[in-house]
A and B are shown apart, each in its own frame.
Chain A
Amino acid sequence: MNRGAVVLIALVVACGTERYPAAPKLRAMSFAKSEWSEPVNLGPVVNSAAGEQNATLSPDELSLYFSSNRLGSLDIWVARRACIDADDPACAWQAPVILGPVINGPGADFAPNLSISIDGHLLFFSSVQPDGFGGPDIYVSRRADPNDDFGWEPAVNLGPDVNTATAENAPLYLQSAEDGMANLYFNRGINALQQADIYVAAVTRDGETRGPAEPVSELNVPNANDAAVTVRVDGRELMFWSTRAGGLGGVDLWVSTRQTVHDPWSPPVNLGTPLNSPFDDLTPNLSFDGRTLIFGSNRPGGSGGNDLWMSTRTPSGKEVP
């Protein structure tokens, strides 16, 4: 079967909702002088003794999608909260709920990513399906109501522009702040062979590919995994994890920037402490406002396996109110 080649979904693009900002401001964000805070474990309501990673925060920061193998196989879960004040107990994350059989099939399903800066109608994720192209492939699911975390329709394989016989993982959808076009970042290659490299494919705002994916060569090194991109909404800052030399031990988070979205990415720099540790620090996710980073780590102080951790920063020149 050729999922993704023949499926055309009539998508009703919702009129702008308050929950999903229609488009980011064109003005670049500035975090040049800010520092990341000491990471905080998201706590035992979200994290389990099994593994959690691949978080994606909805633009309103009220829904947290992530991967977990707490039930044995890798599945996609979502946690909700009523408000975002970290100091207010009423705003604490509620117990995560598994997304259910429409998204989670019998194989591994992981690395969810919500379409950010459009309208929250798309969910990209990695999945192992018998009718895929081989290994994990990238799929997209759509929903009519961007406020319904359980309204996802059956997922569609993105097709041969993105998926191949090897592994495709960790999709990141980003609509350009300048021209409204969209890109899908992901990594291709088997992690166990240190092959993963970062690729990008042009996609429509409905999540269909517009041509073959190409490697983002300035971010990749040979014989190491370069994986799980997160891009700031203004397209000028990008983070990923890598097993390249020069880290603090284990898998580390790296950052690259560019002056404009038309420039190549700068040589990646290790994010250093406190984001990185001698343990695995991986699958970063930047919030819509660029101030919050949620990532996976098996550093001490968690619930076991990889846990989700959070760090924050404030824009340059501004104080915490």
Chain B
Amino acid sequence: MNRGAVVLIAVVAACGTERDRSVTGAWAAGGLSFDVAGYSDWSAPVNLGSVVNTPFVDSDPFISKDGLSLYFVAGQGRGGSGLRDIWVSQRASTDDPWGPPRNLGPTVNSAGQENSPTLSLDGHRLYFASNRTGAGGFGGFDLYVSRRRDKRDDFGWGAPVNLGSGVNTTADETDPAFFEDEATGTTILYFVSNRLGSDDIYASALQPDGTFGPVTPVAELNTPFNDAQPAIRRDGLEIFLSSDRPGTQGASDLWVATRASTADPWSAPMSLGSVVNSPPRPPGVEQSNDFRPALSFDGTALYFASALRPGNVSGMFDLWVTTRSKLKGPD
């Protein structure tokens, strides 16, 4: 894993081999049954402000289904028990400002690093990555899950459990994201591993016994570069990722891929463009990062982290949000 490192990339023209199709309301056998309306373009991102963002690293956002809890990762300087901890900020309504972030505490956070927090749709499970030491780890970062009984209690998480050798390896596993297909009852875990060298996106289906099935790379989304941090829309037809692939402005950008139905392969990822992604910096200096997209449940808000972006509170990663509106679809 090579997060936030200085990366200078010679831009090579991407090969446009994949079709570029707009999202329609299609579904397919074993696929889903949502009507998929279009969305407007993304707005100019807004910094979440100095209550959430500190002069230190603030990254890896995840927005809860109700939009009232913002999980993220903060670095040393904010406090906590390690180099990176999971924190949560809350708000009373989606119109209220975010409150002061609080550390999830030592049940979840270890003396090592935690990153990429992700909630299950039912709100009872918190998945994240950690390189904690001790029994149960497989090496590097592994995926863990913690459970809570009360889905409104952001500080009620139980002891984390390693997801096991079906998913975790001696390499790094990070960035869990879930697609819960309501039409077929299938739950798919997307995650990132550098088991073959660079970061790639993998997928595994949740089995009826609660374990995860065979792990397969999501070939359409991966390149020889680092492809990471997937965030999938709840209908399964749009997926965001960060990548430093050719075409990136800076060290890493946010990209998006779509598909007409859950049975289709993903389209070739397209950059979210210069409105969302940080502007390029002068050659020879450290380049900006746009990192870890997190989509709201309704698909209209995209939280992410940016480093070295004009408007940042810190010299490191800050949390930002961009929004879009849902266009009326066909009746």
Contacts and interface: CB of A to CB of B under 8 A. Distances in A.
Given A170-B29, A191-B29, A49 B330 contact: yes
Contacts of B216: 193-195, 223
A73 B265 CA distance: 23
B30 A196 contact: yes
A46 interface: no
Interface in B109-153: none
Nearest to A110: B29
Chain B binding surface, main DSSP class: loop
Q: Report, as a range, how many residues of chain A touch the other chain.
A: 35 or more
Contacts of B25: 49-51, 298, 304-305
Contacts, number: 144
Pick the most buried of A111, A135, A227: most chain B CB atoms within 10 A of its CB: A135
A114 interface: no
Interface string A226-243: 011000000000000001
Nearest to B203: A193
Contacts of B213: 165-166
Contact of B29 (A166, A195, A283): A283
B27 A305 contact: yes
Interface stretch (A22-30, A126-134, A261-269): A126-134
Given A107-B185, A283-B29, A306-B28, A192 B179 contact: yes
A69 B33 contact: yes
Contact of A278 (B21, B28, B185): B21
Nearest to A243: B265
B7 interface: no
Given A49-B330, A134-B208, A165-B207, A192 B185 contact: no
Interface string B184-198: 111010000000000
Q: Report, as a range, how many residues of chain B touch the other chain.
A: 35 or more
Contacts of B35: 49-50, 305
A305 B186 contact: no
Contacts of A167: 30, 184, 186
Contacts of B30: 126, 135-136, 167, 169-170, 190-192, 196, 227
A306 B263 contact: no
Contact of B19 (A49, A278, A298): A278
Chain A binding surface, main DSSP class: loop
A111 B195 CA distance: 38
A304 B236 contact: no
A49 B331 contact: yes
Contacts of B263: 191-192, 196, 225, 227, 243, 251, 282
A108 interface: yes
B21 A192 contact: no
Contact of A111 (B19, B29, B33, B209): B29
Given A128-B184, A165-B213, A167-B186, A298 B29 contact: no
B185 A135 contact: yes
A64 to B, nearest CB: 17
B262 interface: yes
Nearest to A72: B33
Contacts of A298: 24-26, 260
Contacts of A135: 30, 184-186, 205
B264 interface: yes
B26 A280 contact: yes
B219 interface: yes
A166 B236 CA distance: 18
B31 interface: yes
B234 to A, nearest CB: 13
B264 A304 contact: no
Interface string A244-269: 00000111000000000000000000
B212 to A, nearest CB: 11
B260 A279 contact: yes
A133 B209 CA distance: 10
A41 interface: no
Interface in A171-209: 187, 190-196
A72 B34 CA distance: 8
Nearest 4 CB-CB pairs, A to B? Answer: A69-B33, A134-B208, A191-B263, A305-B25
Given A108-B33, A134-B207, A298-B26, 20 more contacts: A53-B27, A67-B29, A72-B33, A107-B185, A110-B29, A135-B30, A167-B30, A190-B30, A192-B188, A194-B265, A227-B30, A243-B263, A250-B264, A251-B260, A280-B28, A283-B29, A298-B25, A305-B25, A305-B26, A306-B26
